[in-house]
Amino acid sequence: MPMVIAMAGKGGTGKTTLSALLIHYLLTNRRTPVLAVDADANANLNELLNLKVDLTLGQIRKELKNDIPVHITRDQFMEMKVHQALIEENGFDLLVMGQPDGPGCYCAANQHLAMTMDKLAANYRYILVDNEAGMEHLSRMNLRRIDLLLIVSDPSARGILTARRIAELTGPLAMEVKNKYLIVNRLPEPTPAELMARIEETVAAADLPLAGTLPDSAVLTGQELRGESYLTLPADTPVVQAAFRIFDKIIK
């Protein structure tokens, strides 16, 4: 079975940045193949990887609500369309979830998607889900087991509080989460004592170990502005080194 890694956190904390750096890490260490799923409604993981998206899972689910060709079952139709939506790269594939469901019931479409994802998952060593703050997409894809939940926060009291709430939500969602960690992104140097105290309080109260912190990085900003893939970032870039140290510690 593949190792399932999910990102969570409030908007703007850097989940997508961490996802791109994690793909960079897995490819660098030849821990492939990887399936990356952009499950954030504001999908932009493809932009950090300099990839073009032609078809999303949301569009496929809408198609499934309409008439399909008579010579094919709905399961077969979903499987065919999901493979069309796969952006295949060297060592990893990318699937984009797309916009949230519109009016009407998507229960049947989500059931067909879940069955297709079960088959697809068997082809990968790792599945990485760049998630929105909530985790509804995980259940749609039938990912009820998360091996590693990485909750990302920015260096703010509100971000840390949201991280704690997300950590406490995993129980009621009836998901099996084997390990969960906090990562604080764009941490200033020196770090204010009040912020470190809030982080330490969250780590203790929510049983959420601190995996590490990432510095603010003008290199990442420049890479994104130029439209260049994060996968081409040099290994000696400070933020890449910091991210790789975190992943070395928590990905066995």
Angle at 142 between CA 115 and CA 145, to 5 degrees: 135
Per-residue pLDDT, averaged over 120-140, amounts to 78
Rounded to an integer, the average pLDDT of 211-225 is: 93
pTM here is: 0.90
User: Pick from 16, 46, 39: which is nearest to 142 by CA?
Assistant: 39
pLDDT digit string, tens, across residues 34-56: 999 988 767 689 999 999 999 98
Question: In this predicted model, which residue has the larger pLDDT, 21 or 194?
Answer: 21
Separation of alpha carbons 152 and 14, rounded Å: 7
**pLDDT number for residue 174:** 64
Q: What are phi and psi of 104, to 5 degrees?
A: 95, 175
Domain range list for the chain = 3-250
Q: What is the pLDDT of residue 219?
A: 94
Sheet with 34-39: strands ordered across: 87-88, 92-96, 34-39, 126-131, 3-8, 145-153, 176-187, 210-215
* pLDDT tens sequence across 220-243: 999 999 999 999 999 999 999 999
- Angle, vertex CA 250, rays to CA 248 and CA 252, nearest 5: 80
Looking at 3.40.50.410, 3.40.50.300, 3.60.40.10, 1.10.3720.10, the CATH number of the domain 3-250 comes to: 3.40.50.300
Across all residues in the chain, what is the average pLDDT? 86
- Write the pLDDT tens digit of every residue in 154-193: 988 888 888 888 887 766 566 788 999 999 999 988 888 8
Question: What is the C-alpha to C-alpha distance for residues 6 and 135, in angstroms, rounded to an integer?
Answer: 9
pLDDT over 60 at 105, yes or no = no
